[in-house]
Amino acid sequence: MQIEPLMSGGLLVAHNAVFDMNVLKKCLRDYEIKWKPYARYICTVQMGRRLLPGMSHKLNVLCDHYGICLDHHKADSDSRACAEILLRYLEDGADIRQFIRTCSFNK
């Protein structure tokens, strides 16, 4: 299956992205889906640890901190909350470039 036209560019954003990128990598491999050799991503947990030291970086804690609605462990709510957290970090002046990482799908 080819998904290149659907998701060829951009930047993936996830809360605890290392976990999510490993799941994505295994799914692509196990279902023999051809995509691109790597994807750029940002982890809002890693950003939070640098931008908000001294507090918990669990999704629900950050949502409480920022007043973001969350129906925890529901994919649509969790992903929207992650996006809102990223926007808060950017509004507070975070430089996104220092947080961009790359996941290789060739290994």
Number of domains in the chain: 1
Domain for residue 29, yes or no?
yes
Burial (CB count <10 Å: 0-12, 13-18, 19+), residue 10: exposed
* CATH number of 75's domain: 3.30.420.10
Does residue 39 lie within any of the structural domains? Answer: yes
**pTM of this structure:** 0.85
Reply yes or no on whether the pLDDT at 47 is more than 50: yes
Instruction: Give the number of other Cβ atoms within 10 Å of residue 16's Cβ.
Output: 15
H-assigned helices in the chain: 17-30, 44-51, 59-66, 75-91
The parent domain of residue 83 ranges over 12-97
Residue 5 has pLDDT above 60, yes or no: no
